Amino acid sequence: MSSAPNPRPPGARPGDTRRPPATARPGDTRRLLATARPTARLGVGALAGAAALLAGVGLTATAAWLIARAAQAPGVLTLTVAIVAVRFFGIARPVLRYLERLLSHDAALRVLAEARARVYDRLVPLAPARLGGQRRGDLLARLVADVDSVQDLQLRILEPVAVAVLVSAGCLGLVAWLLPSAAVVLGVGLLLAGVAAPLAAGATARASEARLAGARARLSTEVVDLVRGAGDLIAMGAAPARLARIGERDLELTRIAHRAALAAGLGAGLASLAVGATVWGSALVGAGAVRSGRISGVLLAVVVLVPLAAFECLAPLPQAAVLLTRVRRSAARLFELLDATPAVHAPAAPVPLPEAPYPLLLRGVRARWTEGAPLVLDGVDLDLPPGRRVGIVGASGAGKSTLVAVLLRFLDVEAGQVSLAGVDTAELDPDELRRVVGLVADDAHIFGSTLRENLRLARPVAGDAELLAALRRAHLGGWYAGLPAGLDTWLGEGGSQLSGGECRRVALARALLANTPVLVLDEPTEGLDGQTARALVADLLDAASGRTVVLVTHRPEGLDLVEEIHQLRAGRLWPVSRREMGGGFPVGGRDR
């Protein structure tokens, strides 16, 4: 069926893309981790990564010993074990690295898919009432880039930290076995490179990362608006100005990303200094140990070169610290959205959908979009017996979209009752209710796909014969006959290949295919001239023959075709005669 109403919360300005930045809270990162719990496969991948780096350490240590020992020209048999060990570590390292990448990325992608599904499940009760005021670009950034931070958290933060701890412990153990004093030097170097450098990088990046997510969302918003409104922008000559704004947003994002890169570079530079200082310190301590006879000259090469391999495990940590700041900011933005109070509360134990027929009754209904906002509906009574055709009229802002949202349970009522066949709709599963109450909206969304796929949204198993029957009932038979590819005709992004009337009729065919007994027509004549508007209403009512129809409009065209008319004014419905409608109806009203 068609898209839902898209209300704007009170006080939101249409062009306002700069929301106050979400504040990172300590618990958000833990919640993000709980949203996508790490799997055993990810742990095995981390172990494989640690083993790969330890194989690199083993390769370095063995090769250092082999070269130093070979310089003494011993017998070949003396070097055999070391030669085999070098080959073993040389082969094991790339194999283990490949295994680590395979397991870790597979696990991270699985976890990401699960996290995205959980986020979408939590978003469903928020739509459309709580998401109507969100700019699409910002919402897209939250649902894509911010959810992707789950992958960064596990793959580029938690795993490198775990690997660094394991490899550092192994290297310290090896050096301590050879020369305890050198292990102290190595330990200090590891702390500097593995703790101090990442902390410095994270602190430097914190200010820029706090702005990065918002800048990315603003750029995404501008690009989405440009793509969706390209035709109008070009026609009005406003495209160059909009492209210039996108360039400014891109430049802003580039500057912020540059500062973040500088922070990561600072951490990497400090880590490199720590590596050099540790190697020199190990050489000094080792040289003293050789002179005192505590170790041989051959082992000195091992003591000096092992730190070089050991520090490889710490290389990702400065970038991980920068990413942690970004992940915390993304988590704050994501949970700011998900923590919104749902407009609809599904019952824990829903009542089964009653049997047909489906009379729909509203008694004393009061509703508002957000807590503390003015009431939009304030005591609405409406009887919709099966097969009845009712017109709801009202000026723009009188509350018609709110009434539509209540009928389809996109919004819970604050007081009063909406009942379907004697059952309170609050006790029904909202999805089950929408199998009875369908919608054709003025902004019915046509997806960038074929005609067949657009129609099958209502019934995925429908055959071509059923699709054609629905098109004919929606008075699209003649239009369909002229399509070059039939049901495989591409309709374009947002129905760009269709006229406004054709979009509405395709949406109606979709609703008819869903076979809902109650059909709500929300502003079906918006943007049409009077003669075309009346003809469209006549076609819609004819196609919906035998169903309960609620025609919601602010125009008089086609109201002579319904059986009764109510005007929505001051939050209530008032009966209106056709003679009164002849002169139109008073403008004014409030809210939606």
Query: Same topology for domains 28-36+129-338 and 360-581, yes or no?
Result: no
Q: What is the pLDDT of residue 55?
A: 92
Least confident of 448-457, 462-471, 526-535: 526-535
Residue range 360-581, CATH number:
3.40.50.300
The answer to whether 378 and 570 are in contact (CB under 8 A) is yes
Q: Could you read off the pLDDT of 115-131 as tens digits, one per residue?
A: 777 777 777 777 666 66
Residue 88: pLDDT over 90:
yes
The 3-state DSSP class for residue 351 equals strand
Task: Decide which of 14 and 479 is more confident.
Answer: 479
Q: How sure is the predictor about 586, in pLDDT bands with cuts at 50, 70 and 90?
A: very low
Residues 6+ apart with CB under 8 A from 545: none
| Domain range summary for the chain, segments of one domain joined by + | 28-36+129-338, 360-581
State the pTM of this model: 0.63
The pair of structure tokens assigned to 334 is 């994501």
CA distance 41 to 53: 19
Amino acid identity at 213: A
Q: Could you read off the pLDDT of 261-313 as tens digits, one per residue?
A: 777 677 778 888 888 899 899 899 988 888 888 888 888 888 888 888 888 88
Q: What is the mean pLDDT of residues 189-209?
A: 80
Q: What is the DSSP string of 31-77?
A: HHHHHTPPPHHHHHHHHHHHHHHHHHHHHHHHHHHHHHHHTT---HH
Residue range 28-36+129-338, CATH number:
1.20.1560.10
